[in-house]
């Protein structure tokens, strides 16, 4: 029985790595590399490397909360409003320790979601994990039919 559980857990692995600060001034943001490896047949690809920012994770969270399922969507790491206040004596949102803490939280979030059988059927998760860009002009909420 333990082997079945172990192989099921290994069916999808997601790493959130390489946080990089992009943009200038008030348009700065942190870009994360999301690496996906899966053997699950519900996904059309076995591997993916895409770039996402915190707002993309927020989009996925919102989509899954609004989905017509019974998924208990785990929370994201905090938005950290206080880190965005002007006149701070540190780098706020761009402080190394904060970026690493957020990276770990995002990785935990996406792994919990991706291993959930109901979430795996949601188009939002497929778009998030495999599309280079989340194009909201083409996106239609719904389930994947396999």
Structural domains in the chain, CATH included, are 12-130 (3.30.1520.10)
What confidence score (pLDDT) does residue 35 get? Answer: 98
In 82-104, which positions are buried (b, 16+ CB within 10 angstroms) versus exposed (e)?
Answer: ebeeeeeeeeebeeeebbeebbe
Q: How far is CA 123 from the centre of its chain?
A: 14
- Which stretches in the chain have pLDDT values below 70? 1-10, 80-93, 146
What average pLDDT does the structure give for the chain? Answer: 85
Helix (H, G, I), strand (E, B), or coil: what is residue 86?
A: coil
At residue 5, the pLDDT reads 42
Measured distance CA(68)–CA(78) in Å, rounded: 25
Pair of tokens at residue 94: 């761009």
């Amino acid at each position: 029985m333990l082997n079945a559980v172990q192989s099921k857990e290994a069916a999808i692995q997601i790493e959130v790595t390489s946080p990089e600060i992009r943009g200038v001034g008030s348009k700065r943001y942190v870009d994360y590399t999301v690496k996906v490896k899966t053997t699950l047949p519900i996904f059309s690809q076995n591997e993916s490397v895409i770039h996402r920012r915190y707002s993309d994770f927020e989009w996925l969270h919102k989509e899954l909360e609004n989905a017509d399922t019974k998924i208990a969507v785990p929370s994201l790491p905090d938005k950290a409003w206080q880190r965005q206040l002007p006149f701070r004596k540190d780098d706020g949102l761009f402080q190394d320790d904060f970026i690493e803490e957020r990276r770990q939280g995002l990785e935990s979030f996406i792994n919990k979601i991706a291993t959930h059988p109901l979430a795996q059927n949601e188009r939002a998760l497929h778009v998030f994990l495999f599309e280079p860009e989340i194009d909201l002009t083409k996106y239609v909420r719904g389930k994947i039919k396999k």
